[in-house]
Structure 1
Amino acid sequence: VIPYAKMGYWDADYNVKDTDILALFRITPQPGVDPVEAAAAVAGESSTATWTVVWTDLLTACDIYRAKAYRVDPVPGTSDQFFAYIAYECDLFEEGSLANLTASIIGNVFGFKAVKALRLEDMRIPYAYLKTFQGPATGVVVERERLDKFGRPLLGATVKPKLGLSGKNYGRVVYEGLTGGLDFLKDDENINSQPFMRWKERFLYCMEGVNRAAAATGEVKGSYLNITAATMEQMYERAEYAHAIGSVIVMIDLVIGYTAIQSMAIWARKTEMILHLHRAGNSTYARQKNHGINFRVICKWMRMCGVDHIHAGTVVGKLEGDPLMVKGFYNSLLLTHLKINLAEGLFFDMDWAALRKCVPVA
């Protein structure tokens, strides 16, 4: 077995290309494993390598397709963690497919024996690859134009209790909230179509509340209707029904998966609906500081997918939210060009290739 570093997955002299996809991993090597070898192992296992050299490598352009770990820095304030910078050739990934991108970048490497823990902290997606994704259909400006609301934050709230209300009482809460000054109400992540309130009943009563509130206030109002379901067919059915009864926005949960998210984003663009994404489930891999995926990476992926809104957290409230960390999330969603800002966790310059902005929702 040849060490990964000697197989070509480590190159301290590598010149990063504008078309390279870059990833920054926080690596905690197993005791006795050299950090450079651990970084090379991650580069290898997330690109072309297996546990040993195989003769079929000679049938490919190995030197081109190997990912290259090119820099390893100790993490300040730790004794056993390192930042590993890895470059991937753009041709390693299918165009416009987040599922394929993530199958490599976060596929097998997180269970790899050479590392005790591994966290994907940041990515730079090159202009050439970004242009294969549709990005958000509306963005900040278009949504404000549709709502005719400028110069202030859009104000929303979540219906509570999130489970247990009948359809009629649910719609009543929507009406009271919207006439009280809110721009939007929203379903919570786990209200789908339970026995106490089926989805069609909720949609009808919500839209009754929205329409009555709009008539009473003279303002454009809305309610995020959660179309998350067991299958894509069911989600399309619910989305089409929401569109048919006049809703301007639907929502989905992160747990439906990247392919389903991209599919719903394409549908929302075609039907001119706003698509909100609730980050349900993200803390299972985003909260641990040394293992998993930083949420800023999820923000970048979701902007590529084309969601118009994303539940991005806030500094106050019941959920975790460091001010600089949250600012980094918001900047990843709202800026057209990202600059390196280590305090906010932004490790790369990145141009968003004219993809529209994604609205961060607290």
Structure 2
Amino acid sequence: MERIIAKYYIETPYELEKAAAVLAGEQSSGTFVAVPGETEELKQRFAARVEKITPMESVSEPAIPGATAKPGAMYHRANIEVSWSIENFGYNLPVMVSTLQGNLYEITQFTGLKLMDIELPSSYADNFIGPRFGIAGSKKSAGVEGRPMIGTIIKPSIGLSPAETAALVKTLAEAGIDFVKDDELQSAAANSKFEDRVDAIMRVINDHAHKTGKKVMYAFNLSDEVDNMLRRYEYLVKAGATCAMVSINSVGLSGTKKICDQGELVIHGHRNGWGMLNRHPLLGIEFPAYQKIWRLAGVDQLHVNGIANKFWESDDSVVRSIEACLKPLFNQQNPIPVVSSGQWGGQAFETWRRTQTTDLLYMAGGGIMAHPDGPTGGVIALQQAWEGAVKGLSLAQTAQQYPEFGHSVEKFGNK
């Protein structure tokens, strides 16, 4: 029977072998005490197995509190691999996640535990379609070839009326933007009913497409209860929209998969709340494991933060996240990495140097909206930055050659 392997980074004051065995037991057939029904035959078939333990350093202070240890105990760190038969949960994603994460963060034997990656058996390829559009479909829909998709977020995040939002989208479309999205804080505010905003924005987008042949992709935030999301999804399809946004951590796995399964719109997966899952180095989940779960659910676009971002995440982590999205999973489409968080054209050079890919959705909010030449100059400046970076020009050379990008450097260069 096929098995799924989860890779963890752990810290414990106990012997590594004993702590790993507790994890395997707690997350499969065992509990804190032997029970009559847990026969050898049952354990052989359903118990998790500790496959590998790689000891690392030991420290004198725990990463997080929780374990009962004698005074002066050392806290041992290790990478461990644990496997489960897929008979335990089949192709049920919520139960799979409950198995691979679930109660293990609460086990007192651990003062640190992080799910680093997952190895999925080949039969998952037959049971999960994965992203229906991914990189290729997103770019094709927006009419983009040979460069990143350039996108922005409606700012102010909340408060604009449908007419005001549509006017801004019109300006951005005429400037050559590829992608625009609702902020995650905006879905159906008091002065911006979801349907009214869709009507106003799609009139602009459809009119622009009729005139120019380019249909800007707009990600409408339909995050809500499942029934409301399905009604909004249908409204978007009838309006001619091409993309819907879901706040995946808020909506949850089953709700997000239900939306992805409809199969008619590109799904933009916003990971707001990521910090509570990842920020501590010895608690939560790392992006290589996280993105596989959401790829199985069918998300087409997935946020990865950005180089020199405004948040806490390191450049190394951002690069690993981009690489994880671009790494093939079975024969499925790859989700397009969404680079965002305090971006402007200046970060394009380091992003290109470190990733050597243009298979990105490169998002700038203030970097476009606050450009000295207005949003039009902001869009043009981002296009110029990526053109210069891919050509091998330095930031200074690009600023000298392209006026709009030069103005970006003057405005944002010291931030």
Looking at structure 2, the residues matched to 165 and 233 of structure 1 have their Cα atoms a distance apart, in angstroms, of 26
Alpha-carbon deviations, 1:239-298, whole Å to 9, x = none? 11011111011111111000001111101x1xx211111001121111110111112211
Tell me if 1:87 matches 2:87.
no
Q: CA deviation at 1:120?
A: 0.7
Tell me if 1:324 matches 2:324.
no
1:9-20 paired onto structure 2 within 5 Å: 19-20=2-3
* Structure 2 residue aligned with 1:247: 241
Whichever residue aligns with residue 122 of structure 2, its letter is Y
Q: CA deviation at 1:75?
A: 3.5
Looking at structure 1, the residues matched to 238 and 96 of structure 2 have their Cα atoms a distance apart, in angstroms, of 35
Looking at structure 2, the residues matched to 209 and 42 of structure 1 have their Cα atoms a distance apart, in angstroms, of 55
1:32-43 paired onto structure 2 within 5 Å: 33-43=14-24
Provide closer, same or farther for how the CA distance between residues 206 and 353 of structure 1 changes in structure 2, counting only shifts above 3 A: same
Bigger shift: 58-67 or 127-136? Answer: 58-67
Looking at structure 1, the residues matched to 17 and 135 of structure 2 have their Cα atoms a distance apart, in angstroms, of 43
Looking at structure 1, the residues matched to 89 and 324 of structure 2 have their Cα atoms a distance apart, in angstroms, of 22
Looking at structure 2, the residues matched to 59 and 42 of structure 1 have their Cα atoms a distance apart, in angstroms, of 18
Looking at structure 1, the residues matched to 193 and 56 of structure 2 have their Cα atoms a distance apart, in angstroms, of 50
Root-mean-square deviation over aligned CA pairs: 1.9
Looking at structure 2, the residues matched to 333 and 311 of structure 1 have their Cα atoms a distance apart, in angstroms, of 10
SS of equivalent residue, structure 1 residue 168: helix
Looking at structure 2, the residues matched to 178 and 200 of structure 1 have their Cα atoms a distance apart, in angstroms, of 21
Tell me if 1:232 matches 2:226.
yes
SS of equivalent residue, structure 1 residue 115: coil
SS of equivalent residue, structure 2 residue 111: strand
Whichever residue aligns with residue 116 of structure 1, its letter is T
SS of equivalent residue, structure 2 residue 98: helix
Q: CA deviation at 1:215?
A: 4.0
Contact 2:325 2:336 in 1 (8 A): yes
* Structure 2 residue aligned with 1:194: 189
Provide closer, same or farther for how the CA distance between residues 206 and 75 of structure 1 changes in structure 2, counting only shifts above 3 A: farther
Bigger shift: 244-253 or 308-317? Answer: 308-317
* Structure 2 residue aligned with 1:185: 180
Alpha-carbon deviations, 1:119-178, whole Å to 9, x = none? 111111121234321201112223333333211111100010111111111111111112
Provide closer, same or farther for how the CA distance between residues 112 and 77 of structure 1 changes in structure 2, counting only shifts above 3 A: closer
Contact 2:304 2:322 in 1 (8 A): yes
Looking at structure 1, the residues matched to 232 and 134 of structure 2 have their Cα atoms a distance apart, in angstroms, of 23
* Structure 1 residue aligned with 2:152: 157
Tell me if 1:286 matches 2:281.
no
Q: CA deviation at 1:55?
A: 0.8
Contact 2:52 2:82 in 1 (8 A): yes
Looking at structure 2, the residues matched to 249 and 110 of structure 1 have their Cα atoms a distance apart, in angstroms, of 35
Alpha-carbon deviations, 1:76-134, whole Å to 9, x = none? 58663221111111212222x21110111111111111112211111111212343212
* Structure 2 residue aligned with 1:28: 11
Provide closer, same or farther for how the CA distance between residues 72 and 200 of structure 1 changes in structure 2, counting only shifts above 3 A: same
Looking at structure 2, the residues matched to 322 and 68 of structure 1 have their Cα atoms a distance apart, in angstroms, of 34
SS of equivalent residue, structure 1 residue 330: helix
Stretches of structure 1 lacking an aligned partner (at least 5 in a row): 1-16, 337-351
* Structure 1 residue aligned with 2:268: 276
Whichever residue aligns with residue 115 of structure 2, its letter is L
Looking at structure 1, the residues matched to 208 and 56 of structure 2 have their Cα atoms a distance apart, in angstroms, of 53
Tell me if 1:72 matches 2:50.
no
Quick check: which one's helix share is greater? 2
| TM-score (normalizing by structure 1) | 0.84
| TM-score (normalizing by structure 2) | 0.74
SS of equivalent residue, structure 1 residue 80: strand
Contact 2:308 2:315 in 1 (8 A): no
Stretches of structure 2 lacking an aligned partner (at least 5 in a row): 60-74, 340-415
Which one has the largest radius of gyration? 2
Looking at structure 1, the residues matched to 201 and 56 of structure 2 have their Cα atoms a distance apart, in angstroms, of 49
Provide closer, same or farther for how the CA distance between residues 166 and 77 of structure 1 changes in structure 2, counting only shifts above 3 A: farther
Looking at structure 2, the residues matched to 77 and 203 of structure 1 have their Cα atoms a distance apart, in angstroms, of 55
Whichever residue aligns with residue 299 of structure 1, its letter is Q
* Structure 2 residue aligned with 1:262: 257
Whichever residue aligns with residue 330 of structure 2, its letter is A
Alpha-carbon deviations, 1:6-28, whole Å to 9, x = none? xxxxxxxxxxx9x3211111111
